[in-house]
Structure 1
Amino acid sequence: MNGVIQNREAFLGKIAHRLERERKTNIKRPEWNYQPQDAVLKNATQEELVEVLKEQCKNIHTDFVLTNSANLPHSLKEVVNGFGGGSVVTWKDERFAQYGLSQLMNEDWPQEGVDLHVWNHTKKEENIEKASHANVGITISDITLAESGTVVLFSSKDKGRTVSFLPATSIIIVPKSSIVPRMTQAARIIREKVKSGELVASCINFITGPSNSADIEMILVIGVHGPIKATYIVVDDI
C-alpha cells in the first residue's frame, strides 16, 4: 500500500512563487559518474560477506555462531543455555518453523522448564511485561549489513520491537541469504519494496550488537539501554 500525498502541487507551487521563480516539473535524477557507495565489497561472494560479518562482530562485542538449518536447534539451545536459560521471548514468526525450531520451542523447552512467551498482538501489556523480565529475546534479521555488523529488523503486529531491546540478552538469527555488503544495499532493498507497493514496516530497527555507550571521556560501557550481551547465529540457508 502506497501513501497518499495531499496538496503536493499546490504546496510546491506556493514555494516557487514565494521564491519568485518558475516551478520546475521535468527534473531528472542525476546519474553520477562515480558512486563510491557501491564500491565497498562490490564483488564479494556470500561466503566472503559471512567472513566480513564474523570479523566485525569482534568489534561490536557480539558472539558469532555459524550453523545450518539441521543444526540450528542445537546451536540455539546452546546459546540460550550459555546465557543462563530462564525466560525467553520471541516474535510470532513463521520462519522459526521453517528453520526447524518448532520442536525445540513447543516441546523441548516447556519440558525443560524454559518459560517461553511468543509475542501476541492482542496482549500488549503482557507482551511488554514478559519482554522486560525475560533473560533472552530471539528475533530474525530481515537484512544484515556485513560491513558494520548491523541487523535490520522489520517490526509488525506479530514482531514487537521490544523483543530485541528489553530482555537482558539478545539472540538474532541471521539467514545467510540476508547478508548484503552495507547500508547502500539495505536502503535499496527497502526502496524497491516501497516502489513495488509492498507494505513496509512502520518501524525498521537497525541494531549493531548490544547497546554501546561512551561518556565524554570515551569510556565504553556496554548494556546501558539494551541487552548486555548479543549473539548472531548465521544460518546457511542458501
Structure 2
Amino acid sequence: MKGTIQNRDKFLNQIAGRLDRSRISSPIEKPSWKFQPQNEVLKDASQDELLEVLKEQCKKIHTNLYTTDSQELPAILGNIVANYGGGPVVTWKDERFTRWGLDLLMKKEWFNQNIEVFEWDYTVGEQNIRKAEKANVGITISEITLAESGTVVLFSDENKGRTVSFLPATSIMLIPKSTLVPRMTQAAKKIREIYQKTGHVASCINFITGPSNSADIELNLVVGVHGPVKASYIVINDL
C-alpha cells in the first residue's frame, strides 16, 4: 500500500523561498564526469575472479567463507550450525531455502537433531523479535554481494525481518554466486535497476560486512559489540 504525500508543494516552495530562489520543477540533467574511477575497479573481473577477491577480503573481516553447490549445501550448513553450538535457529521465509534443498530445515527437523528452528512469520508480530533475540544462529540470503569489501546486501520485507541478521549471537549469510559484484558502485546500480524494473525497492536495505565490529574507543577493534560475534558466508554456485 502506497502512502499519501501531504503538503508537498507547500513544503518545497517554503524551502525554495528560504534559499531566495524560485522552485526548480523541471528535470535536472545528470552531469557527465570526465573521470569516473569508481567504475574502473575490477570492471573486467569474472565471477570466479570476484570470488577470489571476496575470499581474501573475508580473511580481513573475521568471516569464514565456504563455497558449495545446492547438493552439498545442507551438509555444510548443518556443520556450521553445529560448530556454532547448535540452535535455536531463526531464518527468513524464502522459497530459495526449499530450492536449495533445505527442506529439512524448513520442516524444523534439522537433520534429525533436536534443534529448534523458527521461520519468520509476519502474522505473529513481535514474537519474531523475541525469537531472534534468543536465537544462537540467524540465517539470511544476500541479494547483492560486494567482493571488494566483503559486504552482503540484505533486502527486508514482511517475510525477511532485519532482526534476523543482527540479534542472534552468530550469523550465516547464503550468497548466490550470481550476486557477486565488484563494489558499492555496481551495487547501487543494481538497486536502481530493480526500482526501474519493478517500481519499488525494499523499505530497508542493510549492507553488512562480516560480524559486528567497532573501533570507536581508542581505535581498539572489538568484535560483537552490537551484533553477531561470528559470521560465515556460504557461496552457492548458481551459475
TM-score after normalising by structure 1: 0.91
Equivalences, count = 238
Is contact 1:2-1:194 (8 Å) kept? no
Render the CA deviation track for 1:52-111: whole Å, top value 9, x for unaligned. Answer: 111100111000001111111111011111111121110011110111111344264173
Residue segments in structure 2 that go unaligned for 5+ positions in a row: none
Higher mean displacement: 135-144 or 212-221: 212-221
Q: Quick one: which amino acid aligns to residue 92 of structure 2? A: W
Deviations 1:197-224 (A, max 9, x none): 4331111111101000124321111001
The AA in structure 1 aligned to 2:61 is I
Choose 198-207 or 70-79, whichever is displaced more: 198-207
Percentage identity across aligned positions?
Answer: 62
1:50-89 maps to which residues of 2 (within 5 A)? 50-89=51-90
TM superposition shift of 1:33: 1.5
Corresponding residue SS for 1:42: coil
Partner AA of 1:94 in structure 2: E
User: Match for residue 172 of structure 1?
Assistant: 173
Contact 1:110/1:116, CA 8 A, preserved across alignment: no
**Counterpart AA for 1:86:** G
Match of 1:116 in 2: 117
Q: RMSD in angstroms over aligned alpha carbons?
A: 2.1
Contact 2:87 / 2:136 at 8 angstroms: preserved in 1?
yes
Per the TM alignment, residue 5 of structure 1 is displaced from its structure 2 partner at its CA by 6.0
Structure 1 Cα separation of the partners of residues 16 and 47 of structure 2: 48
Listed as ranges, the gaps of 5+ residues in structure 1 are: none
Distance 2:4 2:191 in 1: 18
Q: 1:22 to 1:121 in 2, by over 3 A?
A: closer
2-side partners of 1:14 and 1:183: how far apart? 35
Post-superposition, which runs of at least 4 consecutive aligned residues in structure 1 deviate over 3 A?
A: 1-24
Q: Decide whether aligned partners of structure 1 residues 19 and 118 sit closer, same or farther in structure 2, where only a CA change above 3 A counts.
A: closer
TM-score by length of 2: 0.91
Residues 95-148 of structure 1, C-alpha deviations (whole Å, 9 max, x = no match): 101111113442641731011111111112221111111111101101111111
Superposition pairs for residues 77-156 of structure 1, below 5 Å?
Answer: 77-106=78-107, 108-109=109-110, 111-156=112-157
Q: More deviation in 65-74 or 185-194?
A: 185-194
